[in-house]
Amino acid sequence: MNRTHKLTLMAMLIAIGIVGAAFIWFPAGVARAYPIQHAVNVIAAVLLGPGPAIVIAFAIGLIRNMLGLGTLLAFPGGMAGALLAGLAYRWTKKKSMAAVGEIIGTGIIGSLLAVPIAQLFLGQAAGVFFFIPGFLISSIAGAALALLVLSRIRKTA
User: What's the pLDDT tens digit per position in 17-44?
Assistant: 999 988 988 887 666 788 999 999 999 9
Average of pLDDT values for 77-85? 95
Rounded percentage of the chain residues whose pLDDT exceeds 70: 93
Name the pTM for this structure: 0.91
**Confidence bin at 157 (pLDDT 50/70/90):** very low
141 pLDDT more than 90? yes
Report the percentage of the chain scoring pLDDT > 90: 63
| β-strand partners of 33 | 26
Give the mean model confidence (pLDDT) for residues 123-131.
70
Q: To the nearest whole number, what is the mean pLDDT of the chain? A: 90
Higher pLDDT residue, 76 or 17?
17
Instruction: Please determine, for residue 51, whether its predicted confidence score (pLDDT) is greater than 70.
Output: yes
d(CA 34, CA 18): 10
Choose among 108, 101, 105: nearest CA to 131.
108
> Residue 90: in which H helix or E strand, if any?
helix 74-92
- 10's CB contacts (< 8 A; 6+ apart) are 44, 48, 52, 55, 56
Measured distance between the N- and C-terminal CA atoms of the chain, rounded to whole angstroms: 6
For 10, other C-beta atoms within 10 Å of its C-beta total 18
Residue 57 has pLDDT above 90, yes or no: yes
Rounded to an integer, what distance in angstroms lies between the CA atom of residue 95 and that of residue 135? Answer: 20
